[in-house]
Structure 1
Amino acid sequence: MSHDGVGLRAVMRSVAFLTAGALAVPALAACSADDEVAKPLAAQDIAPATRDRIADGGTLRWAVDAVPQTLNTFQADADAGTSRIAGAVLPSLYRLDPNGTPQLNPDYLESAKIVETEPKQVVLYKLNQQAVWSDGREIGAADFAAQWRALSGKDSAYWTARNAGYDRIEKIEQGKSNLEVRVTFSRPYADWKSLFSPLYPKDAMGTADAFNDGTRTKLQATAGPFALQKIDHKDGQVLLTRNPHWWGRPAKLSEIALVAVPRDKRAEALGADKVDLAEIDPEEAGRITLAARDKGPAPLQGPGSALTPAKALRSWAVAHGSDEQAASDEIKARKKQRTASATYARQQTSLRDFVVRKSLEPAYTQLALNGSEGPLADERVRRAVARAINRDELAKIVLGPLGLPAVPVGSHLALSGQPDYADNSGALGGQDTKEAQALLADAGWVPGGPVNEQQQQQKKDKDKAAGPEGKKADSDPDSDDGTFIVGEDDKNGEADRDKKDPKDHAAKQGKDEKHGKKDEKQHAGDEAGKDVDGRQYAPKDNRQGGAPGAYAPKGTAAPAGAAAGALAKDGKALTLRFVLPSGPGSDSLRTVADQISRMLESIGIRTETSRVPDDSYFKDHIASGQYDLALYSWPASAFPATDARPIYAKPVPAADGSLAVEQNYTRVGTDQVDQLFDQAIATLDEDESRALVRKADARIWAAAGSIPLYQRPQLTATRLDLANAGAFGFQTPLYEDMGFLKKGAQGGTATQKDR
């Protein structure tokens, strides 16, 4: 899982809801809707080329995370692959431009506008007279009506993930001709342009069975530049072919093959000529960049690149030595390394045909603070955490090495370049250690104590009686739980500032029969500067084994510059659970988390970090509220009043006594924010709606339930001769314009042959 966005349904959880207090923050007025709209921080990078320079034909092999489980974008398990297929084969009445602003799609619409506001809002769509489904039937009012009924929420037989906007429609009818569709709303709806994109044929939406099951693996009809040819879950591929009935600009490519390739295997897939286009992580981007510079016979990195003359001589000596077993093992190892080196070298040679296209994703990474229970239920503590964090520094860590603008995100609801964007972070305030400490003191968290003094003395007596080994064992009861703590201090009576070398500690722990060899390997990887993942987070009475020695164990002295003492209140130290994904592609998140932990340590807050499997990260921890701090991303929307409301809505008690949180996984919400969203959705004045959205964002900042950090990097590897594809940024991909440059065209290397 990439953690780039969330497609989960609202999750219910039985917890006591703790509301945020009202704040008198002058900055809550936000910015005026008349303010100049900022530009996107980074332009899209797609190697643009005019259609006359692009060859006719060819197959584009495009890497995806997995073959989608459903073709219905309105179902809960729809993913990025589902959306990619829908974008190529189904109508979208509006698509986004490079600024993330919806623009009318002339392939399907001649016009769309509000024609009545009183007594009710009426939108009139005039369809492109050439727009037809692949079965020859005209796109019309019947398709609009079927989709409305399926998504209105009035029939529970339809298993829909969302119905925002469709629940406000009162009726849909044909206009003066079959090319006109009149949509009447029961309540005003500002984001009406978000509806019917994508638009499904009536056969796919007309019945619950068709909606729930029929659209999962096939589409009876399509209406895009490409048509769905086949889905092969066994081979991990979806094949899209040029639509012969397409009335718009003919697709340049003959086929688009969506190929399932795991994120950590994409460099190998590119080098092995299995894909032509793939979103990649910074590590793979570095490898491709290195391949372009590496013109020698041997790669500068990879297997065998670290072999020094001394190591080579020693290996030769062992392979030709008198110890037959050692010689045999060394010969096998040398052969294995030669094979790996040869494979890596071939891949690096192939990777010279690729380039990394860079932009910023229309999504941002945030620090989420779970306000449902524990210390973070106190708004003062949440605000203290936010004020301790240097967002500029975190953005530089992630984006600086990639050459992308390292600018913190200033809004929860839009990104720079979008009309709704305004930097409202002033409603909370910037990094200020003294202010953070004052907020914690006001909340009753005292530096250095008071931890229960009687328990502290009993522990000291026990340690003294047990001796050095007993003290170490007692002070680190959870050393094998896959977690580590930052900010422990012996003033709170729980730390053991053992001055021994951490390497010795890791070696001793590595002798444990359960973890021995595995721990030694993990420790070696840690010394090489690589992340070592912990085990799945679990309650203290059911934790799984971790990697002793991979992290500073409980009792290790804090680094220089740390706070003089941890904070405590009512005999309990201030420690926050920091939950992170452990899988490939999450290295940058873990690096950011380490920096955040150090920043919090400087004000006396300890963090207990747990690294959990990707497949359980959201379901078992974020959505269920089993965390204090977490990092994950939200996608930006062109319709924040609609799409962002469930993310920040105030949780409410459900009929069964649980708490309905929708997608508000921080459990922090206010009545004011809900009211501002409702007002923004209901007004048909765009300037007024934009001002209300910005005010809602300022309130969200003030509540300190989530802290936007940075816009996510978008790195895409493409063949040098591939045009109009790459890092799209905000813009909706134009599938019909993608293709391989003609031989000799500027920027290309060769014409891509049909595959």
Structure 2
Amino acid sequence: MSNDGVGLRAVMRSVAFLTAGALAVPALAGCSSEDTASKPLAEQDIAPAARDQVADGGTLHWAVDALPETLNTFQADANATTTTVAQAVLPSMYRLDANGRPQVNPDYLESAKVVETEPKQVVLYKLNQQAVWSDGREIGAADFAAQWRALSGKDSAYWTARNAGYERIEKIERGANDLEVRVTFARPYADWRSLFSPLYPKDVMGTPDSFNDSARKKLKVTAGPFRLKKVDRKDGEVTLARSERWWGHPAKLDEIVLTAVPRDERTGALAAGDVDLAEIDPESLGRITLAARAGAKTGSTPLAGPGGLSAHGSGSNLGAAAALRSWAVAHEDGEEAADDEAGAGKKKREAALAYERQQTALKGFEVRRSLEPAYTQLALNGASGPLADERVRRAVARALDRKALAKAVLTPLGLPAEPVGSHLALSGQDAYADNSGALGGQDTEGAEALLADAGWVHGGPVKKENGEKAEEGEKADKGEKAAGAEGEKSGGTSEKESEKKSEKSRKKSDKESEKSEKSKKESREKSDNEDPADDDSADSEDDKGDKGDDKQYANKLAQGGAPAGAYAPKGTPAPAAAATKVLAKNGKALALRFVLPSGPGSETLRTVAGRISSMLAKVGIRTEISKVSDESYFKDHIASGQYDLALYSWPASAFPATDARPIFAKPVPAADGSLNVEQNYTRVGTDQVDQLFDEAVTTLDASESRSLIRKADSRIWAAAGSIPLYQRPQLTAARKNLVNAGAFGFQTPVYEDMGFLRKGAKPASGPSGN
């Protein structure tokens, strides 16, 4: 559900990322000279173990979303795998601790501090005297200078994706000796710690040709616990091997193999033994949880993979009939359908047995869970239409119950469900403060008052296309049909399949409701098939769900925490109560186009969107759901402004004054007459916010900079261009004997400590999986 790596700053701030897989790399937490009361909402979960408990050798097979298009993190097409490789093989001056705060990385840096502020800011880096490149050359000022020149923005021949901070440098010199580097800034720069992480050798950064091409497919010279061995695009693998020239603690693993595995294929890859570590979606979490429970009930020993299958080849503790029943239930066909499986055909029986083999193999895994350093937000496009009016945007925000949305996604996953209170930081980061009070919490009456003030009134006349007036009910019905047509157009075949599945679920619910006698289990299932968006009590019942009911729990997890039916499929008529609240202004109904990705990894987004739509309907705002392909969602809709409402995520940054400014900068007209929005895809910004960012990035007083960032966040809340909802969950399936790896949370992975437990050893106490 997230990307695998955590970089010191966002590698691609120009691209947001989706639930199905990150399109940007989360950045690190803020840095200051003093601690604050803020703590991460969830600890990292990596099965920590001391190095002497970790076996020497072995290969870690790690699933990633895609192979890197480039190995240069400063190029526009860098991705999460690019960052993972860079973290393992290249120098980084800082790394994060478990609380999300950058610390000097002693493997490369003895110290770094501001030694002069007048007349210019000067930072002195003292390097580790053992730090050398894999070709034997010392890491030094020449490498720092080459990277500065490449990223300064002064030479357009370098195809760089970003240069923030580097453009403020005036010069870089050798210090008192070869181990010292003096960096002089032309203008004060508070976020100087963001620079030179990662650091590439001068051979890569020295010329435009080498920068643009030499590091795209290979890295000849490295300086980390691992080296790049090969990139195999045919097999979809990147192999990292233990570096013989590494001066720090030697890597425990012989190799790390990063394998591109689609999200919806990872359960099978885990069960087949093809991967040992993989971020997964809630559906896979449900299956691994059920496998663990089955193992606990039977007392069976968890198997390492398909090699542990039984003599009959199934590796299952169940007979053929029980396997068919388990498979049918897991595929949401219900107990009654499972009874009918007795006469199932050969293909169904084979599928059921394959499912049971997978479940047996999955007993060798556990799910490690934390929260990503990233948050999901509701974006409101303020460029035109009803949302160009700040009052309407604020009404949308006031209609939302952010706590309920966070609970729907996170509580069933065993994670703390706290709404995010800042656009610029997350709990645990120095700059974090809950500034949502600048906009206010959920308030239906307040939202309706704002809409009325903006001229949107109940029962207002709505013009037909021919100019005649339409009755309100007629308009509502027509609008819902239009919304369904839009969904049909954008959803294609997958939409039809989704509708059939939803219709099947509704028929099942109707059938169950006709029965007078129900067991406790059937009652819970029926409850999960009702939309709780109209009844706040439903959320609390979800939270109390009996996890002993395997089917009910697995289904809830597969829904991303939301009960089935919470997302109304295309064409579903609005509730009668909602139809009576249609608002109109100047002959036009208040309807917002809600654009969503349609891919299999975006179920959680669609569930959240369904709940949001229900909340907005209560104040008279209709939403027209439009599903588009994952490939076009961001580029063709979010970045181009073809939406009213949308859900996507931003990484939290260690350096918000630098990295967040373009996301919230006020759009300005470009020379060609277009609007330059930088990365502000909501098109909402103010001069005051821009000024606060400018002040925060130039002050060297950490406390003052933090105060300015928080003020900027309050102004961003008040403008209501985007509404942070919840911190993204991070679910990672790991082989049970794999340690020092999993859901990393804020902390930078320590690649040299990853490995498999020695025989008889146990991981240290700490957060565990299932």
Give the corresponding residue for 1:585.
601
How much does 1:303 deviate? Answer: 4.8
Q: Say whether the 8 Å CA contact 1:523–1:550 is kept in structure 2.
A: no
Q: Does 1:243 align with 2:243?
A: yes
Q: Does 1:553 align with 2:571?
A: yes
2:357 to 330, 346, 366: 346
1:47 and 1:344 map into 2 onto residues whose CA distance is: 28
Give the corresponding residue for 1:29.
none
How much does 1:358 deviate? Answer: 0.9
Q: Say whether the 8 Å CA contact 2:568–2:610 is kept in structure 1.
A: no
How much does 1:220 deviate? Answer: 2.2
Give the corresponding residue for 2:308.
none
Give the corresponding residue for 1:357.
368
2:640 and 2:222 map into 1 onto residues whose CA distance is: 38
Deviation string, structure 1 residues 4-31 (Cα, Å, up to 9, x no partner)? 99936489xxxxxxxxxxxxxxxxxxxx
SS state of the match for residue 676, structure 1?
helix
2:425 and 2:379 map into 1 onto residues whose CA distance is: 17
Give the corresponding residue for 1:499.
none
How much does 1:342 deviate? Answer: 1.6
Q: Does 1:285 align with 2:285?
A: yes
The count of aligned residue pairs is: 660
Q: Does 1:302 align with 2:313?
A: no
SS state of the match for residue 600, structure 2?
coil
How much does 1:442 deviate? Answer: 0.6
Q: Say whether the 8 Å CA contact 1:239–1:258 is kept in structure 2.
A: yes
Residues 383 and 519 from structure 1, CA distance in 2 versus in 1: closer, same or farther, beyond 3 angstroms? closer
Q: Does 1:416 align with 2:424?
A: no
Q: Does 1:337 align with 2:355?
A: no
How much does 1:632 deviate? Answer: 0.6
SS state of the match for residue 173, structure 2?
strand
Give the corresponding residue for 1:636.
652
How much does 1:37 deviate? Answer: 2.5
1:742 and 1:373 map into 2 onto residues whose CA distance is: 61
How much does 1:338 deviate? Answer: 1.6
2:735 to 701, 712, 719: 719
How much does 1:433 deviate? Answer: 0.7
* Structure label with greater radius of gyration: 1
Q: Say whether the 8 Å CA contact 1:74–1:161 is kept in structure 2.
A: yes
Q: Which moved more, 1:297-306 or 1:614-623?
A: 297-306
2:211 and 2:657 map into 1 onto residues whose CA distance is: 27
1:613 and 1:454 map into 2 onto residues whose CA distance is: 30
1:606 and 1:419 map into 2 onto residues whose CA distance is: 39
What is the TM-score when the length of structure 1 is the normalising length?
Answer: 0.82
Give the corresponding residue for 1:43.
43
1:74 and 1:121 map into 2 onto residues whose CA distance is: 25
SS state of the match for residue 449, structure 2?
helix
Give the corresponding residue for 2:184.
184
Letter aligned with residue 418 of structure 2: V
What is the TM-score when the length of structure 2 is the normalising length?
Answer: 0.81
1:149 and 1:58 map into 2 onto residues whose CA distance is: 40
Deviation string, structure 1 residues 589-622 (Cα, Å, up to 9, x no partner)? 1111101000100000000011111111100000
Residues 109 and 315 from structure 1, CA distance in 2 versus in 1: closer, same or farther, beyond 3 angstroms? closer
* Residues 134-145 of structure 1: pairs in structure 2 closer than 5 A: 134-145=134-145
How much does 1:476 deviate? Answer: 3.8
2:529 and 2:75 map into 1 onto residues whose CA distance is: 38
Give the corresponding residue for 2:690.
674
Give the corresponding residue for 1:481.
486
SS state of the match for residue 198, structure 2?
coil
Letter aligned with residue 644 of structure 1: A
1:678 and 1:308 map into 2 onto residues whose CA distance is: 59
1:169 and 1:110 map into 2 onto residues whose CA distance is: 22
1:514 and 1:633 map into 2 onto residues whose CA distance is: 24
1:33 and 1:432 map into 2 onto residues whose CA distance is: 39
Q: Does 1:611 align with 2:622?
A: no
Letter aligned with residue 143 of structure 2: D
Q: Say whether the 8 Å CA contact 1:204–1:220 is kept in structure 2.
A: no
Residues 514 and 640 from structure 1, CA distance in 2 versus in 1: closer, same or farther, beyond 3 angstroms? closer
SS state of the match for residue 601, structure 2?
coil
Deviation string, structure 1 residues 320-350 (Cα, Å, up to 9, x no partner)? xxxxxxxxxxxxx711112211211111111
Letter aligned with residue 348 of structure 2: Q
Give the corresponding residue for 2:679.
663
2:748 to 729, 732, 747: 732
2:410 to 376, 396, 399: 399
Q: Does 1:373 align with 2:375?
A: no
How much does 1:719 deviate? Answer: 0.8
How much does 1:524 deviate? Answer: 3.7
Deviation string, structure 1 residues 148-193 (Cα, Å, up to 9, x no partner)? 0111011111111110000000011111111111100000000000
Give the corresponding residue for 2:19.
none
2:114 and 2:497 map into 1 onto residues whose CA distance is: 69
How much does 1:272 deviate? Answer: 0.6
Q: Say whether the 8 Å CA contact 2:462–2:587 is kept in structure 1.
A: yes
How much does 1:747 deviate? Answer: 4.5
Letter aligned with residue 481 of structure 1: E
* Residues 151-170 of structure 1: pairs in structure 2 closer than 5 A: 151-170=151-170
Q: Say whether the 8 Å CA contact 2:49–2:763 is kept in structure 1.
A: no
Aligned-residue CA RMSD in angstroms?
3.1
SS state of the match for residue 586, structure 1?
helix
2:370 and 2:80 map into 1 onto residues whose CA distance is: 18
Residues 550 and 456 from structure 1, CA distance in 2 versus in 1: closer, same or farther, beyond 3 angstroms? farther
Give the corresponding residue for 2:662.
646
Deviation string, structure 1 residues 114-137 (Cα, Å, up to 9, x no partner)? 111000000011111100001111
Give the corresponding residue for 1:451.
462
Runs of 5+ unmatched residues, structure 1: 12-31, 318-332, 464-470, 486-511, 532-548, 749-755
Residues 527 and 147 from structure 1, CA distance in 2 versus in 1: closer, same or farther, beyond 3 angstroms? farther
Residues 410 and 34 from structure 1, CA distance in 2 versus in 1: closer, same or farther, beyond 3 angstroms? farther
Q: Does 1:259 align with 2:264?
A: no
Give the corresponding residue for 1:223.
223
How much does 1:684 deviate? Answer: 0.5
2:350 and 2:466 map into 1 onto residues whose CA distance is: 59
Residues 594 and 310 from structure 1, CA distance in 2 versus in 1: closer, same or farther, beyond 3 angstroms? closer
